[in-house]
A = this chain, B = another copy of it.
Amino acid sequence: MVAEKVFTQLRRGTLEFCVLALLQGEPRYGFELVKALGEVDGLVTTEGTIYPLLARLRREGLVETSWRESESGPPRRYYTSTAEGSQALAAFTADWQRFCASVDAILERGRRG
């Protein structure tokens, strides 16, 4: 709970697109996303983070939603990526790789210095 604080900052800006990536070709609902992200190192989060994020994606037209009945529990709101969402994801992926390369270079320089 203490060392994890670093990841809270690192997640900024990336979490949004990680969600978008998880929605590619496969509709998912909120709680499912929390569990999926929880299995990935450094991306653990909670519903309180995911739902505002999903609402934002919806406002921006990057995802669409639809209700479906569940066999065990309350109905679920499924989120699907729009074409615009996939496009935004692709653009981010390029930016992300550039950014990673820059940071890696600096950290590497620091290790030598």
Q: Which residues of A are at the interface with B, using a C-beta cutoff of 8 A?
A: 3, 6-10, 12-14, 17-18, 20-26, 40-43, 89, 91-93, 95-96, 98-103, 105-107, 109-111, 113
Contacts and interface: CB of A to CB of B under 8 A. Distances in A.
Contacts of A113: 21, 24-26
A113 B24 CA distance: 5
A87 to B, nearest CB: 12
- Count copies of this chain in the complex: 2
Contact of A99 (B10, B21, B98): B10
A23 B110 CA distance: 7
Given A6-B13, A13-B6, A13-B10, A103 B96 contact: yes
Nearest to A93: B107
A107 to B, nearest CB: 5
A107 B40 contact: no
